[in-house]
Structure 1
Amino acid sequence: MSGGWNTIESDAGVFTYLIEKLGVKDVQFEELMTLEPVELRQAGKIYGVIFLFKYPTGEKRSDKPNDGTYDHDASSNIFFAAQTIQNACGTQALLSVLLNKDGEVDIGKELREFKEFAGEFPPELRGETLSNSDLIRETHNSFARSSPFVDETQRTATEDDDVYHFIAYTSINNTLYELDGLQPAPISHGACTTSEFPDKVIPVLQRRIARYPATEIRFNLLACVRDLRIRAREMGDEEALEAEDSKRSDWLWENALRRHNFVGFVGELLKGVVKDKLSQGDGVYEKWVEDSKAKTRRRVEDRRKKGLGGDDIE
């Protein structure tokens, strides 16, 4: 493999433009704010969901999953890949949905060729093939947030780190499957048609969340759906179409910002401010520094009075 995989955010705009860059047509992701089937149905035609959660690092594989049953035979007729590399699980989860919806979704020439090439392999080799795909890796990395301080390809998680993991849920062959590359096989959650998916997947997600302490709220759910602009055009809903176009523009802007490292810009800005203060004459620079220190001390004292940590400055 010629390079590593960087961390990407669980964000509808990131995932939508990532799959478009891979050649997928007329599909987008929508963030869901509640675990209600009605909200999922409102997203239109649904292909699956991507769930992000804090991974219990001490958890070990067992012969039986916490929920559902392993379907070891399913790997021969659905696309399921073992996760073989860190940081790739977000892209692997969305591909777990899309590569199993080929026919319903136009996944494009590149992904179709990848699926045909890797489809006959066992899950472990499929995972290796995915990890070694230059196209998929480079597209994935193009949506990573720029960091001048941390090389994500070299970083290794420790037991004290919060580790997050993406998995996919989708209906395949009238069965609700959980596709998690860290598990030995797809997990079946029972019979489920495409139309039943919103009603069947929500209880599964609720049971998973219920295994965490009530104070744990760091979850994220993205629905993989048909491009909402298509539905707006079909219904002649100009207001909805305008809202979707505006959302796409916002996503483009946010994705562009992710690619930029602003440290150099901030450094030059600070140098300009300091130069300006120094040019204003004797004592101006020193007074500016002392005023800044005084403001910081006041903020610390205010936070302590409110019962907050004095060192926790926002």
Structure 2
Amino acid sequence: MSTRAEHTRPAEHTGHAEHTGRTGPAGAAPGYRPGRTLPLRVELVRQVKRRRTLVMGGILAALPFVLVAAFALGGDPGARNGRVTLMDTATASGANFAAVTLFVSAGFLLVIPVALFCGDTVASEANWSSLRYLLAAPVPRARLLTSKLAVGLALGLAAMVLLPLVALAVGTAAYGWGPLRIPTGGELAPGTAAQRLVVVVAYLFVSQLVTAGLAFWLSTKTDAPLGAVGGAVGLTIVGNVLDAVTALGHWRDFLPAHWQFAWVDAVQPRPEWSGMVQGASVSVTYALVLTALAFRAFARKDVVS
């Protein structure tokens, strides 16, 4: 009887292991599934509840109110030297106000949330000395980076959507709902203008993928969140400075900053897409290279914090 029992117990245990952990890797504990570690929903909730996320959201939501107050104090913008620019049409309608808000924030302000959400994510875990505990959970390194990057990009996109939505609502309340007046002449119907603004936001997000990739790569190289975020913002500023050097000629075409305002061609009666296509191609190429470097560096990194 005892011999028979000894032969049946391992079989029962093996069957239980196969039932609960049949998808796990060899040698893993029963029931362990790498794809279920660090779920995106959990990581998203963690990042949304952080103070820096709430503060950044508040700043972006407050910017349209600041611009309305500035126009109220300084008077309506008007053409200078007989030339009408996009800024001069800011108070023409809510759509114009939203377009102007994107114009004044695309060069620098929208860089900050993308760099913050993608650069702070891994470095902050190392700074809190919790990164090694996540890996010991165990969360596979590729899975950890994928979850962190996906949530960082999602929050960056949310920031870019929040700003024009609030600007459109505030501008409509202040200046009324109407067509998008184009500085070069003509106008776009409200429905068409809304569609074009969606295209603009999508392009701005794609153009910021370079900053996201750079910040994420730096986040895997340092334990200082400020270093990753500041480094990404600083190098983005350097790119803007280099783009202003006209002596570089056609070499500027390889700079992501050279195409950051190509979206202006989308808010024309007859939109021109070539500049946006080139800008998106440059941005995506840089972003893929930087993201690959981040995964490669982190896979070989000795995590001690």
Task: Tell me the TM-score range normalised by the shorter chain.
Answer: under 0.3
Which structure is richer in relative contact order (CA contacts within 8 A, separation 6 or more)? Answer: 1
How high is the TM-score relative to the length of structure 1?
0.22
